[in-house]
Structure 1
Amino acid sequence: MSDTSPVFGGETPSRPRGSLRTSVVWDVLTGALDDRAKAAGTDVLDVLDTGGGTGNFAVPVARLGHRVTVVDPSPNALFALERRAAEAGVADRVRGVQGDIHGLFDVVERGGYDAVLCHGVLEYVDDPAEGLRNAVDALRPGGALSLLAAGLGGAVLARALAGHFTEARQALTDPAGRWGEGDPVPRRFTAEQLTGLVGGAGLAVGAVHGVRVFADLVPGGLVDTEPGAMEALLKLEAAAAGLPAFHSIATQLHVLGEKQR
């Protein structure tokens, strides 16, 4: 295997500001990939990244030595993915195809993957349950699903702290978790809703983590200028991520699932 340190957005992995958004998910994901590789008796997994865009996760996963297929509806994103993979030296392990999760098997093989990433997808599809079933159907027996979606509680808290109390209440009571017509996110979830979807799709629900529990609430100037603040905040995020008490205020929620053998 190659270097396991991810590089997101072209930043170095030592203290990337972007790691506040990705470090928890990356740690869980790499652990799941290691477990799957050991169970499958191989160093190289076939990984599918649905809605993987420009390769924020796909390229680092390929740098671990795995083969990654990215399905995304945007030709521009796939072009950027190709360029990023080439710059990272993993062009031979990353393949981009245009499509979406509802027409997934028009472009990829059913049951052909050891792991599927479904990050930032369910918020935008018409039928989250159907989309998730397709992701599951792409897995081999024993395969792992990494599901990341917008959290309801984080949006409510953010609107309230910004003084938009009516919008906070609207998000809290809206079935889709939206705070108003100007909300750019079509749908948000609670941890219970996400684990229900994962279980309903036939997977065993594993770890659940809150992502960006504090990162979106801390002033950026403090993190950028205070010595040691970035490292301390990363450690705080890691410590809180797995605690159920903090899932309800996280900006995003991550659920790990496993397909039965």
Structure 2
Amino acid sequence: MHAVGISRQAGTPAVRTAVVWDVLSAVLAERVAATGRERLDIVDAGGGTGGFAVPLADLGHAVTVVDPSPDSLAALERRAAEAGVEVRALQGDAADLQELLPAGGADLVLCHSVLEYVEDPAGAVKAMAGLLREGGVISVLAANPLAAALHRSIAGRFDEARQVLDDPEGRWGDRDPTPRRFTREALERLLSVTGFAPGEVHGVRVFADLVPSRLLDGEPGAARALVALEQAAAVHPVLRDIATQLHVLGHR
């Protein structure tokens, strides 16, 4: 197997996901060492077109994506075919997980940009917990309301920024396409009440969403320098909490 690195994801997408890949790479190494199995079983709940699933399959792991969108699953299959890897694709949502997949069969479950949209976040996490083996890990990535307030204010939408701070779901209004957002404390609490031990929270896209893409395209080494900045900010006690997304692991 080979490590997932920035070179495998050129340009801006690498900047936006570098912190998550750093954490996942460490998790995979730990699980391989703990189980003695080079090929881990991974479920990507709501994995869409395979942005994480295909690279994980390319590392040699057995990856299953469950997603409600047939169009996304078709794009996933094309992406996997182009990469020359196999990814199992199943249509369904969080409520279907326990019917679609066996209990206790996964080493890692990805729950990335899912909890914002499901009707019952706690129920979804409990369903994912049931898929994991003892010692398994859930990777949760969710939108952060503090970042939404910051971004609305930068756009001159000051009333909407204030609404984000006042709204219990972290929404800026009725036209907000995101049904809910999660603070660091809310994610840690959600994992705790669903039977997980929360790990360290990392901020994802602290600066990446604020930097014009032309600065990355026109300056040699700029993307790599921004990745290094994102990696430093991911665990900064202040900057972490204003990231666009928050990433946290839950341990069984």
Question: In structure 2, how many angstroms separate the alpha carbons of the residues matched to 1:189 and 1:30?
Answer: 24
Cα offset for 1:182?
1.5
Instruction: State the partner residue of 1:195.
Output: 188
**Does 2:53 align with 1:58?**
yes
**178 and 14 in structure 1: CA distance in 2 versus 1, 3 angstrom threshold:** closer
**Paired letter, 1:145:** I
Cα offset for 1:33?
1.1
Instruction: State the partner residue of 2:63.
Output: 68
Instruction: State the partner residue of 1:46.
Output: 41
3-state secondary structure, aligned to 1:210: strand
TM-score, length basis structure 2: 0.96
Give the unaligned 5+ runs of structure 2: none
Instruction: State the partner residue of 1:236.
Output: 229
Instruction: State the partner residue of 1:16.
Output: 11
Cα offset for 1:5?
3.2
**In terms of mean alpha carbon deviation, does 196-205 or 116-125 score higher?**
196-205
**In terms of mean alpha carbon deviation, does 97-106 or 64-73 score higher?**
97-106
3-state secondary structure, aligned to 2:12: coil
Q: Deviations over 1:195-221 (max 9, x none)?
A: 111111111111210000011111222
3-state secondary structure, aligned to 2:95: coil
Residues matched between the structures, number: 252
Cα offset for 1:243?
2.0
Instruction: State the partner residue of 1:110.
Output: 103
**Paired letter, 1:30:** S
Instruction: State the partner residue of 2:4.
Output: 5
**In terms of mean alpha carbon deviation, does 208-217 or 239-248 score higher?**
239-248
Q: Deviations over 1:64-100 (max 9, x none)?
A: 1110010000111111111111111112xx1000001
Aligned counterpart for 1:25 among listed residues 6, 20, 25: 20
Question: In structure 1, how many angstroms separate the alpha carbons of the residues matched to 2:166 and 2:146?
Answer: 11
Question: In structure 2, how many angstroms separate the alpha carbons of the residues matched to 1:107 and 1:55?
Answer: 18
3-state secondary structure, aligned to 1:209: strand
Question: In structure 1, how many angstroms separate the alpha carbons of the residues matched to 2:37 and 2:250?
Answer: 20
Aligned counterpart for 1:152 among listed residues 129, 142, 145: 145
Cα offset for 1:18?
0.5
Q: Deviations over 1:93-141 (max 9, x none)?
A: x100000111211211121101100001000011111111111111110
Cα offset for 1:14?
6.0
Instruction: State the partner residue of 1:78.
Output: 73
**Paired letter, 1:62:** A
**Contact 1:209/1:255 (8 A) holds in 2:** yes
3-state secondary structure, aligned to 1:218: coil
Question: In structure 2, how many angstroms separate the alpha carbons of the residues matched to 1:74 and 1:4?
Answer: 30
**Contact 1:6/1:60 (8 A) holds in 2:** no
3-state secondary structure, aligned to 2:38: coil
Give the unaligned 5+ runs of structure 1: none
Question: In structure 1, how many angstroms separate the alpha carbons of the residues matched to 2:224 and 2:63?
Answer: 30
Q: What is the identity percentage for the equivalent residue pairs of Structure 1 and Structure 2?
A: 57
**Contact 2:4/2:25 (8 A) holds in 1:** no
TM-score, length basis structure 1: 0.93
Cα offset for 1:164?
0.6
**Contact 2:44/2:63 (8 A) holds in 1:** yes
